[in-house]
Amino acid sequence: MSELDRRIFLKLGAAAVIGTTLAPGITLFQAFAQDETEGRTSSKDRWGMVIDTNKCTADCTECTAACRTENNVPLFGDPRYDGHWIRKVTVTPKTDGAHSRSLPLLCNHCEHPPCQHVCPVAATFTREDGIVMIDKHRCIGCRYCMIACPYKARTFVFKNTEKWSNPDVPKRGKGVVEKCTFCAHRIDKGQIPSCVEACNKSGEKAMVFGNLNDPNSEIVQYIREHAPKGLREDLGLEPKVFYKGI
């Protein structure tokens, strides 16, 4: 091998090393890897919601109605069979009965979801962007998750729904557990959940939805300013739905 050849060989080798590791954690091959992850949920996102209970009025059910039409959540007229993805509850302090609050309760999309831990068939999973979802193809309907959830956010599908109110979203077959998905199908399209949209439309504007990982997002600014609390934070589940004023 001549001197020139060796020099070129060494240069190429050095270039290859530099090319693969520009800096710790940053490599040129990310450029190729990005093609595979394009059009997928990103782990950079962390979706969350803030609900201002001061603005939420007791007799307003815009969010629950919007959720039912958007996600084909059945309403049979029999409370034993009705599904609930989001429901209005009234909380009354034990010390003072006069100051009760009405607030919507939905899946809190915990960072450490107990429903996922207890699922025997791994039907409940956390998406890359932190949304806790149920793979209904896999769910066997054992209802462990319903017992594990401290927010009572899950309901069992006892009956088949007859019609789709929104054909873009699948119905649920009899015998699986269903719950709020943060309208994942809408988030994938770049929209906000239908309950938040309905709340904004109704003029109450009690709900704020956004990316918790984006420091400039509306929700992060709101949390910085008002410091809303999650429900039962003592459980250490790190819920991503926050409530102001309770």
Partner 1 sequence: MGGKGAIAIVVALIGLIAAPLLYTAAGNGLFNKPPKPELTLPAGGGKCIEPTEFMRKNHMTLLVHVRDDIVRNGAHKPKYHIEHCKTCHTKRAEFCDKCHNYVGVKPECFDCHYLP
Tokens of 58: 């007791």
Interface with partner 1 by CB under 8 A: which range of 38-46, 57-65, 103-111, 144-152?
38-46
Interface with partner 1 by CB under 8 A: which range of 2-10, 16-24, 121-129, 201-209?
121-129
In the complex, minimum distance from the CB of residue 193 to partner 1, in angstroms, rounded to a whole number: 16
Tokens of 179: 């719950």
Count of residues that interact with partner 1, criterion CB under 8 A: 22
In the complex, minimum distance from the CB of residue 100 to partner 1, in angstroms, rounded to a whole number: 38
Q: Per CB under 8 A, does 168 bind partner 1?
A: yes
Q: Per CB under 8 A, does 77 bind partner 1?
A: no
Q: Per CB under 8 A, does 167 bind partner 1?
A: yes
In the complex, minimum distance from the CB of residue 167 to partner 1, in angstroms, rounded to a whole number: 4
Q: Per CB under 8 A, does 183 bind partner 1?
A: no
Query: How far is 238 from 134, CA to CA, in rounded Å?
Result: 19
Q: Which residue has the tokens 């025997």?
A: 120
Q: Which residue has the tokens 């088949």?
A: 160
Q: H-helix or E-strand containing 93? A: none
Provide DSSP, 43-84. Answer: TT--EEEEEETTT--TT--HHHHHHHHHHT----S-TTT---
Q: Per CB under 8 A, does 127 bind partner 1?
A: yes
In the chain, the amino acid numbered 198 is: A
Q: Per CB under 8 A, does 44 bind partner 1?
A: no
| Contact in structure between 101 and 194 (CB atoms under 8 Å) | no
| Contact in structure between 88 and 103 (CB atoms under 8 Å) | yes
Q: Nearest 5 degrees, angle CA 124-CA 148-CA 87? A: 85
Among 100, 160, 191, 221, binds partner 1 (CB under 8 A): 160
Give residues in contact with partner 1 (CB under 8 A).
38-41, 125, 127-129, 133, 135-137, 160, 164, 167-168, 170-173, 184, 188
